[in-house]
Amino acid sequence: MTFAVVIALFLGVRYLLVPKSFGEYGHYRGLALAENADRPLHYSTSANCARCHEDIFGDKSKGHHAGLSCEGCHGPAGKHVLFSDSTHTIKLADSLILKRDSTRQFCAVCHEKNAARIKILFDTINKSVVKVVEEKKHNHLFDKETHKLLNCIECHNPHDP
Amino acid sequence: MRKPMDKSSRRTFLKSGLVLAGGVVASGLLKPFNAVVLAGDKPKGEGPWYGIGIDIEKCIGCGRCAKSCKLENNVPMEPFYFRSWVEQYTIKKDGEVTIVSPNGGIDGFKQTVPDNEIFKSFFVPKMCNHCYKSPCVQVCPVGATFVSPEGVVLVDPNYCIGCRYCVQACPYGCRFLNPEKNVADKCTFCYHRLQKGMSPACFANCPTKARIYGNLRDKSSELVSFIKNHTCMVLKPNLNTGSKLFYNALSMEVR
């Protein structure tokens, strides 16, 4: 008798504690799949950038940076794309305008000379060669007003370097 | 003086030995219970089953994968929380191995070893291996981490109790405790992007296409041909984790 009561109690407590969707697909909460899939996006795709910025996209697709994703340098554009419209009737809020990093150090993230990058420089089989320079030594021209080293993008067009 | 051998104990020993051997043979015949006997065969099913290919020869260590992963998935910006990161291995001429990963490679790498001492140097991008016999899933006491039907190892943040057992269990160091929610956190293969037909952030933002992903069940997919055409290896194959992250040109120094 006591045994049956304990079993019934256990089943009752178990029913209340185990989530409804548990075990739907396996030993986990089935709803967790949908919850994981529903998280908001931050990054968009380059194809979405090309829909409005086709001129820049055209420049980029001719140069060495053709294979690069726009957001790799410009940052996540999910909200920028979401609130933009191609007719330009709504001005985007400042917080939605993407801020580029135009410092020398940012270009050096890929193009700084490094022993691990040299093999890529001499790779003649694949034509996708990454040019490397020494950021500290390359082009020591100072800006006349700020007296800082010139940024890379003053000479090189980042979309078609 | 040696005790003479007890006849009955030898009989029990032989008997139990025979039962054990018979049991092993019988369990081999029971196909449906193979999942219990030989844990972790490749799951059968329809639909995509994702894997990853990383070409170490193409990686330039720019850290865009680590950066975009952090921004896409709201990973804390502190330099010790990573779902995806890059390490630089430098092997000196005397055989000494130096491994550096300043801020996961997000701010770029500064060479620490002088050129004339280097034998070879390369970048190794690291992320969750999405194993199909994953130790982290096996140890979860509540079923809060699991392998999705697509072969993606996910965490259920609403069900996780934050016991950190999985963080200990992962041999690749791919898990951490999220300091805000106090639950286990890891790479989700950007499951939210994948389900919308978009590439995960680290794959989309890799400038040299050093990392690719694809359906391992589709024999014509980009990943399957990548594995076929290169000499690929998984990390720590001795652990038999069923890793689905295949590296091309992986040196044995990589841990």
- Contact predicate B18/B183, CB 8 Å: no
Mean pLDDT score of chain B, rounded to an integer? 90
Q: How many residues does chain B have?
A: 255
- Contact predicate A88/A55, CB 8 Å: no
Domain span(s) for CATH 1.10.287 in chain A:
40-100
Range of the domain at B191: 50-132+185-248
Mean pLDDT of B61-90: 94
Q: Is the ipTM of this complex over 0.90?
A: no
- Claim to verify: residue B85 and residue B178 sit in the same structural domain: no
pLDDT (tens digit per residue) in A127-150: 557 888 888 888 777 766 777 788
Q: Which residues are CB-contacts of B97 (< 8 A; sequence separation ≥ 6)?
A: B89, B90, B91, B253
Could you confirm whether domain A40-100 is CATH 1.10.3470?
no
Do residue B145 and residue A115 have CB atoms under 8 angstroms apart? no
pLDDT-wise least confident of A19-28, A126-135, B32-41, B118-127: B32-41
* pLDDT at residue A130, as a whole number: 81
- Claim to verify: residue B175 and residue B210 sit in the same structural domain: no
- Claim to verify: residue B171 and residue B79 sit in the same structural domain: no
Alpha helices in B110-243 (DSSP H): 135-139, 165-169, 191-194, 201-204, 222-229
Nearest to A115 among B118, B143, B198 (CB): B118
* pLDDT at residue B33, as a whole number: 53
Q: Which residues are CB-contacts of B244 (< 8 A; sequence separation ≥ 6)?
A: B50, B51, B52, B129, B130, B131, B132, B151, B216, B234
* pLDDT at residue B102, as a whole number: 93
In angstroms, how far is the first alpha carbon of chain B from the final one? 55
Residue B120, token pair as written in the block = 């070879």
Question: How crowded is the C-beta side of A137, counted as CA atoms within 13 Å?
Answer: 5
Do residue A39 and residue B192 have CB atoms under 8 angstroms apart? yes
Phi/psi-derived region of residue B125, left when phi > 0, alpha when psi is between -120 and 50, beta in every other case: beta
- Contact predicate B82/B40, CB 8 Å: no
Give the number of domains in chain B.
Answer: 2
pLDDT (tens digit per residue) in B170-189: 999 999 999 999 999 999 99
Q: What is the pTM of this model?
A: 0.83
- Claim to verify: residue B59 and residue B171 sit in the same structural domain: no
Nearest chain B CA: its distance from A148 CA (Å): 20
- Claim to verify: residue B173 and residue B89 sit in the same structural domain: no
Which of B167, B184, B201 is the last residue in one of the domains? B184
Q: What percent of chain A has pLDDT over 70?
A: 88
pLDDT (tens digit per residue) in B142-177: 999 999 999 999 999 999 999 999 999 999 999 999
User: Which position has the token pair 């219970």?
Assistant: B33
* pLDDT at residue B31, as a whole number: 57
- Claim to verify: residue B76 and residue B104 sit in the same structural domain: yes
User: Which position has the token pair 């690291």?
Assistant: B126
* pLDDT at residue A63, as a whole number: 83
- Claim to verify: residue B57 and residue B178 sit in the same structural domain: no
pLDDT-wise least confident of A46-50, A74-78, A149-153, B116-120: A149-153
The pair phi, psi for residue B31, each rounded to 5°, is: -55, -45
Q: Which chain B residues contact residue A116 at CB under 8 A?
A: 60-61, 88, 90, 109, 121-123
- Claim to verify: residue B81 and residue B206 sit in the same structural domain: yes
Three-state DSSP at B40 gives coil
- Claim to verify: residue B97 and residue B77 sit in the same structural domain: yes
pLDDT band for position B37 (50/70/90)? very low
